[in-house]
Amino acid sequence: MHTVSQLKSGQLTGIKHLKLSESLTSFPLEILQLADSLEILDLTNNSLSSLPQELTQLKKLKIIFASNNCFETLPEVLGQCQNLEMVGFKSNQIKYVPKNSLPPKLRWLILTDNRIETLPDTLGERPRLQKLALAGNCLTHLPQTLSQSTNLELVRISANQLTECPDQLLGLPKLAWLSFSGNPFSQSDININSVPEVPSSSFSLQNVLGQGASGVISKASWNTEQTAFPSDIAVKVFKGEVTSDGYPEDELRACLKVGNHPNLVQSLAQVNEERYSALIMNLIPSHYKNLGLPPCFNSCTRDTFPEGFTLSIEQIEKIIVQMKRVFEHIHSNQVCHGDLYAHNTLFDEKANIIFGDFGASTMYHMLTEEQQTRIKQIEQRALDHFIDDLLSVCAEKDQQSEKYNHLKQQIAH
């Protein structure tokens, strides 16, 4: 974190990444002193409602974050920033997105958790667009021009007011990660009772194991001796608010609809109380580790891995076989995971995997047969990318093997 006083004193001259959070109500023009170096500007958690025309002086600016501010309109000056690739204005009060507010080199647009009802046709006229996050708005339709977005790979449109399935997305050649739950067109009255309900008083939360956009996962213990459930459990308590992927209740329902599988985190019970929703799961053994890391700014939609991380071709092949079974199981239950990635996969030394995180998942049984087919094809691309990413960390000695070439050919076809 940096300060305006540091800017004024000249201490930050030459930096590429500036982060300011000081309850700012106006844009500090001292930032312009960094015009020759600044590439990433993070103004998250302030009280800004506008940006000055002088922003265009930041010729090297590639990324701007202004989440948790007071913007009601996406600033038009952004569209004049010639090298700007990533725009993140999550959790503002944005109602209006002007047609000229989208930069020409836009790759990644985050407008999650705002009040947007319509988007301009110019959104589909940004040929480099790869990632589009629009969950938690008031959208009733999407621009038809998005059918031109041939490089679009990831879309989040959950928790909106879309009355029809946006078919202009389903035929996109590179779309691989899609979530659309919590819209009128994807509503379902299906009743899922695949696991029993228990009261929150039946267990006690212990140490936190991890947390994501939709909730916090903790190790837990039963308050009384149990015969119906394992003694080692984990509990995900949902936050109960819209996330970057949609509504937590949609995640819970999709997770329950999928049911159990040897390579999925096993659901045991659920809590449905006023202001308290939770999923009780099997506790994953501690020797399981994350298979990958989330995408970075440069990779945009593709997973990353720790430096020096490798897998043998035998490990890769075993992991792929398991993930293909998971894929078929999920889609046999008419659920799209929406986030099929190595970073949502745990593995052990024997290459056994456990797949989880249904935050972006969507039930799709209510769609037409053709739409369902296209949804599965979209997620098949995610599976292909998963395989390709694993092959990118294949041990060098195995990269000329028959198995390696066979897996490469499977992706190509």
Annotated binding site for ATP: 236
Binding-site residue numbers are 236
Residue type, 344: N
What is the C-alpha separation between 52 and 367, in angstroms, rounded? Answer: 45
Cα–Cα separations (whole angstroms), residue 179 to 88, 304, 343, 347, 384: 19, 21, 17, 25, 18
**In a 10 Å sphere around its CB, with 0-12 CB exposed, 13-18 middle and 19+ buried, how is residue 293 labelled?**
middle
CB–CB of 340/177 below 8 Å?
yes
CB–CB of 99/77 below 8 Å?
no
What is the C-alpha separation between 301 and 385, in angstroms, rounded? Answer: 10
Beta strand 335-336 with 108-110 is: unpaired
- Which residue is it, tokens 């540091």? 6
CB–CB of 158/179 below 8 Å?
yes
Q: Which two tokens stand for residue 166?
A: 């946006």
